[in-house]
């Protein structure tokens, strides 16, 4: 499913980058949702991106973590794995946007695009599933345990969302991450104790 989502997102994003009308209609615009009842925007904004770099980063992260989550889901949920994976991705898209909808529903000039909220849900699902995995990025060359990265990421996202001056949807990152954690544990409650056991060094 990861590859299917990437292919769909890339195709729609390319079209939208070359068609301003589609780009406008697919954006997350709380004011249009509030006044015109265009609820579909809660979903479609994840299919369009601000530019090629924005698209490339989101799809690279999705590819990197999505395949791992799919493998774990197949182990835990068998034939329902693909269904749950898509449900988490779509749910993360919507849930990560609710805060912005409440905050900007009366501001006609606020727009947002991108799959960052949904991708954050996938990343944090992977952290629940494998909290001791080593994560490292270009700006963070020294790998650290996934759960520690998750804590730092949540604190940073919450701080930047409150500050709100860099035109990045930190609130979507934060709430998408929270959704990924809650959704994964809701599917398999025993993962909560497994997570605690692993990070405390009492099991695997």
Segment 49-60 mean pLDDT: 92
SS3 for 145-173, per residue?
EHHHHHHHHHHHHHHHHHHCCCCCCHHHH
Question: Would residue 59 count as lying in a domain?
Answer: yes
* Residues whose CB falls within 8 Å of the CB of residue 106, separated by 6 or more in sequence, listed in order: 31, 34
pTM of the model: 0.90
The CATH number assigned to the domain holding 34 equals: 1.20.1540.10
Full residue range of the structural domain in which residue 57 is found: 2-199
3-state secondary structure of 67: helix
- Where are the alpha helices (H) located in the chain, listed in sequence order? 2-17, 20-26, 30-36, 41-44, 52-77, 81-104, 116-129, 146-163, 170-187, 190-199
**Per-residue pLDDT at 163:** 72
Question: Would residue 173 count as lying in a domain?
Answer: yes
Residue 164 — pLDDT band, cuts 50, 70, 90? Answer: low
Instruction: Name the nearest CA neighbour of 149 among 159, 160, 137.
Output: 137
Give the number of domains in the chain.
1
**Per-residue pLDDT at 145:** 87
Segment 24-37 mean pLDDT: 94
**Per-residue pLDDT at 202:** 60
Question: Would residue 204 count as lying in a domain?
Answer: no
């Amino acid at each position: 499913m990861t590859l299917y989502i990437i292919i769909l997102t890339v195709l729609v994003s390319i079209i939208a980058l070359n068609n301003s009308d589609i780009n406008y209609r697919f954006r997350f615009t709380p004011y249009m949702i509030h006044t015109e009842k265009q609820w579909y925007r809660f979903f479609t904004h994840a299919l369009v991106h601000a530019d090629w770099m924005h698209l490339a980063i989101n799809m690279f992260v999705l590819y990197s973590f999505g395949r791992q989550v799919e493998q774990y889901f197949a182990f835990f949920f068998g034939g329902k794995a693909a269904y749950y994976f898509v449900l988490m991705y779509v749910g993360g898209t919507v849930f990560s946007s609710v805060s912005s909808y409440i905050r900007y529903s009366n501001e006609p000039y606020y727009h947002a695009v991108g799959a960052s909220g949904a991708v954050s849900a996938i990343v944090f699902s992977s952290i629940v599933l494998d909290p001791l995995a080593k994560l490292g990025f270009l700006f963070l060359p020294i790998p650290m345990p996934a759960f520690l990265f998750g804590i730092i990421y949540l604190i940073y996202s919450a701080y930047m969302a409150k500050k709100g001056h860099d035109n990045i949807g930190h609130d979507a990152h934060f709430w998408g991450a929270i959704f990924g954690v809650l959704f994964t544990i809701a599917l398999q409650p025993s993962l909560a104790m497994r997570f605690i056991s692993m990070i405390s060094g009492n099991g695997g």
